[in-house]
Amino acid sequence: MTRSTLTGLSQASTAAKKTDPKKEAIRLTNLWQKYGPNTYPLDLRKLVDGAILTSDFSDKLIIDQRRFDSFEGSLVRTKGARKWTMLLNSHVANGRRRRFTFAHELGHFMCHRDLRDTFEDSEESLNDFHDAIETEANIFASWLLMPANILRTEFQDMPWCTDVLQEIGTRFECSLQASALRHVKLSHRPLAFVVSRDGMILWATKSQSAPFIGRFCFGDELPEGSHALESFKAGGSSAERVPVGTVWNDFQNATESQYFDQSGQGYQYTCIEF
């Protein structure tokens, strides 16, 4: 990436105090795919080096990766200067989570640096869907790490199941939850994704064309007759797509497949296609 190529990025990113996370992610994606290596999983350090550190970007950014006890990622401004330090906890065991945290903090830098001088993120804040700033940083990270053009080209027409979910996670080196959220929201097909633990639903998301499943929300039990509930009771995963009729919606049949997370936290992932 050349200095002249990036002038527009610098000017556009500093024109407003708060920028659209999707637009910022697309801007960087276009630079990476047109002028950079255009390889995926995305090399975040190379992207930062090419698009920010060696450009005329108005604010300076230093990246410090080492052990921190109180957070997974942080972005701190040097008092009285347009200089920022991104702190990344190198001792987070999950490499995909470290990558997403990196992209999340970069989202704060690109979109929110005129709003606050300090951002500090733990596992809780990274999964806070109610905080607008944290949600925007997550949107930025998802759009940057999993570009729409590649997702649509490679995965749009594949049957929605946990095998495909794992392929997406591997392709972009992202967590299964982040991969599912991105794929489902982007899809034109009627898809849904449910995260549960101990037979209780934690959260769910669906594509725009999927039927209403809002009756199944946080704290609800997995529905009777669902493959999800049967798999939970049996204590095993099943990537096979299983027809389950109208257990998720009274009017449309669905198929399900299951995956039990191996992190030890007890998460069960259910891919649903109507």
267 and 191 assigned to the same domain: yes
141 and 164 assigned to the same domain: no
243 and 200 assigned to the same domain: yes
60 and 34 assigned to the same domain: yes
Residue 106 is part of a domain; what is its CATH number? 1.10.10
192 and 88 assigned to the same domain: no
In a domain, 2, yes or no: no
In a domain, 74, yes or no: yes
Domain tally, the chain:
2
In a domain, 66, yes or no: yes
In a domain, 53, yes or no: yes
Residue range 215-234: mean pLDDT, rounded: 91
Among 6, 43, 41, smallest CA distance to 150 is for 41
100 and 11 assigned to the same domain: yes
The residue ranking higher by pLDDT, 77 or 235, is 77
Over the stretch 40-53, which tens digit does the pLDDT of each residue have? 999 999 999 988 87
Under 8 Å between Cβ of 227 and 256: yes
53 and 21 assigned to the same domain: yes
Give me the domain span that covers residue 206. 160-273
11 and 139 assigned to the same domain: yes
CA 28 to chain centre: 16
12 and 88 assigned to the same domain: yes
What's this model's pTM, rounded to 2 decimal places?
0.88
24 and 131 assigned to the same domain: yes
77 and 192 assigned to the same domain: no
Residue range 174-203: mean pLDDT, rounded: 96
pLDDT of res. 239: 78
In a domain, 245, yes or no: yes
| pLDDT interval class at 187 (50, 70, 90) | very high
247 and 136 assigned to the same domain: no
